[in-house]
Chains A and B, each alone.
Chain A
Amino acid sequence: MNRALLRISLACLAMFVLLLLNMNYVQAFETSKLAAEPGNIRVFDEQFTYQRGSIVATGDGNDVTIAESRLIKGTDTYQRYYPEGPVYAPVTGFDTIYSQTGIEQTENKLLNGTDPRLAIHNLTSLLTGKQKQGATVELTISPAAQQAAYSALVNDGGHAAAVVAMNPSTGAILAMASYPSYDPNVLTTFDGTQLNDAYNNLVHDPAQPLLNRAVTPNFPPGSSFKIVTSSAAFSQGLVANTNTTVPAPEPLQLPNGNLLNNDGDETCADGNPPIIEAFYLSCNTAFAGLGIRLTAPVLRDYANKFGMNQTFDIPFPVEPGLFPEDQGWTDPSLTAFSAIGQFDDEVSPLQEAMLASAIENGGTLMKPYLVQQVLGPGLSLIESASPSAFSHPVTPQVAGYVKAMMYEVTHNPSGTAYETAGPPATSIPIYGKTGTAENGLTPAESPDDAVFSCFVPAGPGVSSPIAVGVIVQGGGFGADAAAPIAVQVIQAYLKAHS
């Protein structure tokens, strides 16, 4: 019987070995998979029991906390808090007990400490008995520019509007404001019913506060698209330099027989002005004519190089501009409208900032980004941004031509933005292009959308350049409604960086 008993012993041993192996599998190798199972109550509960990392705006050199987790008095529970609520909401997004948006979403694993790069730190805090903590996400946002942008939007009279500012030489986003905004603090409650109510209120609000207008291509670019059209015309050799004359009849007869007019049906200088004059006067017929000669595919090609029709992560995914291949898009009569930003192309303020950015930076468009660096709980560097070129839309020479033209817009007394962004308004050398875009509504329903795309190059009193895109829905003239907002943002930024 002992021989059989020994075999039974082996069977027992085998059972225990199997159990040990399986326990190792479940508790050591499958943990992250099981933790990621939807509806894991323990992981769900855990998010409140330790401090989620902060989101900090560092664009002005000092740290301004824009999202943090605070210990609720008398409990072991942390709750998310956004000190400046609506101001930074388009950037931070929100963090509810169920889901996140914005930076809260894209950097979630770093903020909640589950990113593999934090594993070693988590192990050390486990061994030393310290509490688990999330990483701090440092953003490129300049609090001065952001505050100025949001205040300017709020004081603009209730128009839906948005601003993006970026550093043309790095791509770092300095401001991203959208109005109307929302207060993410209403979504941090632990009460599921309360959360649902608050969220539904925001979703069903006709003002669409949750919409991040700064990165949503919802607006026709209008005349600001002439930056793209003239870039293409110079690059393709249609126009030799800024003094080359271009035909600017009033009206322009289109191939299909329709007429295209300048604003207010005004004549453009003598009807055959140098391109620089057509640019600062913003003559439609001159650039519509160039568009017809360029053809739609070429125009679209340059739009693509400036970032339109491209989706990329900043780190949340954005598609800042659209130049769709809609039916009949290659029809020259429609291309004429595309060339002045009035057919079916649509842009966001980010796209406007990218247009100005590429011109300022000598024809190289830097990839826009928001996260400067991520610091582990021990202030160890987890990741750091490395600026990279997104595309090279034009040569430095062509960029120089467009730059010269944008200078005249604000500095020639006849320039469209001379009064609002030129010497009468500010001593800062702003280069810009206005846009006043018909938005498909009758003037009684809504005035035109106001667009302004501009930059300030580095120079005396300007330590680092800045490019700004502003769109005010139904604001009217770009020079009147959009340009002053850009000026306020630039002034605040340069003041903080002087």
Chain B
Amino acid sequence: MLVFAIAVVLLAYAAVGLGLRGKLPGLPADLVVFAALMGAAHVAIRRFAPHADPLLLPLAALLNGLGIVMIYRLQQSGRNGNPGLQVTDLPSSATTTQLLYTGVGVAALVVVLVLVREARLLQRYTYTLGALGLVLLAIPAVLPTSHSTVNGAKVWIIFGGFSVEPGEFARLALAVFFAGYLVSKRDVLALAGRRVLGITFPRARDLAPVLSAWVATLLILIFETDIGTAALFFGMFIAMLYIATQRVSWLLIGVALFLFGTFLTANLFHHVMERFTVWLHPFAGSNPTGIAYQPVQALEGLAFGGLFGTGLGHGQPYYTPLVQSDFIFSAFGEELGLVGVMALLLVFGLLVQRGLRAALGVNDPFAKLLIGGLSFVLALQVFVIVGGISGLIPLTGVTTPFLSQGGSSLVASWILIGLLVRVSDTARGPAPQPIQDEGMTQVVRAG
């Protein structure tokens, strides 16, 4: 499977060369390194989590590889005698940098596998990680703009030439915190409470820590004008609360809070209202050349790609601002068409499904909750950005996992894969009881 994924990436790379210059590019060192990294990840997984779901790494490798290929394609545009316009905010070393971050990501995966021999070990650090997550989130908010703001989003830590988006890691840390807290309190949360209108509402004191973390997170994010990430945290919290308590009341409270929050922010903040205008009337008046320029470019790019796409290197994705990061999916849509987009969505869907499968299979409630929440938020993230780009929902800027240019997102995604691998290994590994369970037979089949 992994070989197949790497082969697809190689073919895509060759297609870029053919598309741009009409000839095959030479085998670049970049791709050899990529293949070696994936091989190393494979060996590490075999060594440290031998029973892990064998599909996780190939899926992640495929997405990461295609992301690198698209970044290479965008970086080459208008450079080195290639046709097209330059993507000016994409440095000519972007491919190498992205590959470097892939290396860091794979290293992080190995570290997770080595250190976290069992997911429940993380439960010990529930409050530590919760505090760490909040601090990480808050740092950009207190940093001066020059050290924290890129393209209007105050979500970065920038020093020297180096920048980190701490929110990506905070999400993982806060997921651990929520899982840990909810597991220890879930009986209380699920059982104690007042019944109102046939729905049992939780007690305030059980709710307080969760709610305060929740509110703190959202406030920080709103202050940092990062609505997309706020939506992701929101969704993750609600999903995890629901999984932990199985209480529909949480969903209702969540949805109500979400609608209220949306209404409030839309009326409080001009730029949020603007997003709604752009979403509903992208082509009205001066919008296409003004506030809706970027989504209109993305939509027209998708439409231009049509069913089969223009082919890698043949489209004009460079017209869409930020096409290399938040909007990379529109570049895939333009050059690979509906067919390619559906394939990518299926790969993401498979990854989410394998994560949820691991959560279902594992016995440890903490791991179940952590992985269930993280899998859900992965799906939600894809939904928010792809749905935003294609006009399904108002556009909010979040990265596309694995595909987007940027180290933080990529490394965090690999850590997530590490956690999934670890939990799937636990879920599918030999159970303590001598019972031949489903997981065992699957390992045999997969081998």
Contact = CB atoms under 8 A, between A and B. Distances in A.
Nearest to A126: B308
Interface in A29-50: 30-31, 33-35, 37-43, 45-46
A76 B307 contact: no
B198 to A, nearest CB: 19
Contacts of B422: none
Contacts of B333: 23, 27
B303 A31 contact: yes
B338 A1 contact: no
Interface residues of B, number: 53
Nearest to B334: A42
B307 A27 contact: yes
A11 interface: yes
Contact of B379 (A12, A20, A41): A12
Contacts of B245: 4
A40 B305 CA distance: 13
A15 interface: yes
A8 B308 CA distance: 32
B345 interface: yes
A120 interface: no
B345 A16 contact: yes
B349 A5 contact: no
Interface in B143-193: none
B387 A19 contact: yes
Contact of B242 (A2, A4, A12, A40): A4
Nearest to B283: A37
A46 B334 CA distance: 14
B303 A19 contact: no
B380 A15 contact: yes
B246 A41 contact: no
Interface residues of A, number: 39
A1 B368 contact: yes
A141 to B, nearest CB: 36
B302 A27 contact: yes
B360 interface: yes
A9 B306 contact: no
B390 A23 contact: yes
Interface stretch (B36-44, B87-95, B265-273, B369-377): B369-377
A41 B365 CA distance: 53
Contacts of A28: 306-307, 338
Contacts of A31: 303-304, 306
A23 B379 contact: no
A5 B352 contact: no
Given A16-B345, A23-B390, A8 B356 contact: yes
B442 interface: no
B128 interface: no
A409 B326 CA distance: 80
A37 B293 CA distance: 13
Nearest to A36: B303
A23 B300 contact: no
A24 interface: yes
A221 B369 CA distance: 91
Contacts of B368: 1-2, 5
Contact of A39 (B288, B316, B376, B392): B288
A12 to B, nearest CB: 4
B410 to A, nearest CB: 22
Contact of A22 (B348, B349, B391): B391
B68 interface: no
B69 interface: no
B342 A12 contact: no
A268 B163 CA distance: 100
A26 interface: yes
Contacts of A404: none
A23 B391 contact: no
A28 B246 CA distance: 40
A31 B334 CA distance: 11
Contacts of A46: 304
A126 B311 CA distance: 11
B299 A34 contact: yes
A204 interface: no
B360 A20 contact: no
A2 B369 CA distance: 10
A3 B365 CA distance: 13
Interface in B288-302: 288-289, 296-297, 299-302
Given A12-B375, A16-B345, A45 B303 contact: no
A17 B306 CA distance: 19
B345 to A, nearest CB: 6
A2 B301 CA distance: 41
B341 interface: yes
Nearest to A38: B288
A19 B305 CA distance: 17
B243 A5 contact: yes
B235 to A, nearest CB: 9
Contacts of A9: 353, 356
A131 B142 CA distance: 56
B359 interface: yes
A5 B337 contact: no
A275 B4 CA distance: 94
Contacts of A39: 288-289
A67 B379 CA distance: 54
A225 to B, nearest CB: 51
Given A4-B243, A16-B379, A41 B297 contact: yes
B391 A37 contact: no
A27 B383 contact: no
The CB with the most chain B CB atoms within 10 A, among A4, A22, A39, A40, is that of A4
B365 A1 contact: yes
A2 B392 CA distance: 30
Contacts of A40: 300, 304
Given A18-B392, A23-B338, A12 B356 contact: yes
7 contacts: A5-B243, A6-B360, A19-B382, A19-B387, A26-B390, A34-B304, A76-B83
Given A23-B338, A46-B304, 19 more contacts: A4-B246, A5-B356, A5-B360, A9-B356, A19-B382, A19-B386, A22-B392, A23-B341, A26-B303, A27-B307, A34-B299, A34-B303, A35-B303, A37-B300, A39-B288, A41-B297, A41-B319, A43-B300, A43-B304
**Closest A-B pairs by Cβ, 10 of them:** A34-B303, A27-B338, A12-B379, A15-B383, A22-B392, A42-B304, A31-B303, A4-B243, A16-B349, A4-B246
Interface of B: 83, 239, 242-246, 283, 288-289, 296-297, 299-308, 315-316, 319, 333, 337-338, 341-342, 345, 348-349, 352-353, 356, 359-360, 365, 368-369, 372, 375-376, 379-380, 382-383, 386-387, 390-392
Interface of A: 1-9, 11-13, 15-16, 18-20, 22-24, 26-28, 30-31, 33-35, 37-43, 45-46, 76, 126
